[in-house]
């Protein structure tokens, strides 16, 4: 269903070519959960974007959460987003969500991007960083 491994040729932790502050992209198992996750994260003060899942990740329709630039930088163990550590998000659940039940994360990606002169759309690289099942 979705890509289950890091993209081949994924760059090292800080590629000089993709120097914009990295973001995180989080997918969920259903559109209902992504909507709840957006509400939850915004309540916790994180201005996330809700966007269609990029074609690099899936060919199916779906929506995902994209975190602001700069939240994808830290070493995996140290990712802190809106007071939650990313491993906790990736491996566990977002407890305390508005409806009280946990929202389970399906996959977590680091997104590197760079503006390309003369093009309106940024170039993006996606690297899966949660545990591969």
Partner 1 sequence: MSGSTKYIDARGLPCPRPVVLLRDAISAGEADILEILVDTEAARENVRRFAVHSGCSILLSESVAEAVAEGMSHGETPEKVIGRRSHYRVRIGIRTERETKTHAESEQDSSGGASTDRGTVPDTGRWGGEGPGSATEPHGTVLPVVGSTVLLSSDEMGRGSEELGRLLMRGFLYALSENDIIPKRIIAMNSGIRLAIAGSESLVNLQKLAGRGVEILVCGTCLEYLGLASRLAVGRVSNMYEIAGFLAEGRTLSL
Q: Where along the sequence are the contacts to partner 1 (CB under 8 A)?
A: 31, 35, 50-52, 63, 117-121
State in angstroms the smallest separation of the CB of 67 from partner 1.
15
Compare residues 6 and 50 and give the one whose CB is closer to partner 1. Answer: 50
Compare residues 67 and 129 and give the one whose CB is closer to partner 1. Answer: 67
CA separation, residue 54 to residues 16, 57, 109, 125 (Å):
23, 6, 11, 10
Compare residues 1 and 61 and give the one whose CB is closer to partner 1. Answer: 61
Counts of helices then strands in the chain (DSSP H, E): 2, 8
Pairing type for strands 84-85 and 63-66 reads unpaired
SS3 90: helix
State in angstroms the smallest separation of the CB of 27 from partner 1.
14
């Amino acid at each position: 269903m979705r890509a289950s491994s890091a993209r081949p040729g994924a760059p090292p932790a800080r590629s000089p070519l993709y120097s914009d502050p990295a973001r995180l992209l989080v997918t969920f198992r259903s559109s209902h959960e992504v909507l709840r996750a957006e509400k939850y994260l915004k309540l916790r003060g994180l201005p996330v974007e809700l966007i269609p899942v990029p074609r690099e990740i899936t060919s199916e329709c779906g929506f995902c959460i994209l975190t602001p630039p700069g939240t994808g930088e830290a070493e995996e163990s140290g990712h802190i987003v809106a007071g939650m550590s990313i491993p906790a998000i990736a491996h566990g659940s977002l407890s305390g969500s508005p409806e009280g039940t946990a929202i389970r994360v399906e996959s977590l990606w680091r997104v590197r991007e760079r503006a390309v002169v003369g093009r309106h759309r940024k170039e993006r690289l996606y690297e899966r960083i949660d545990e591969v099942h």
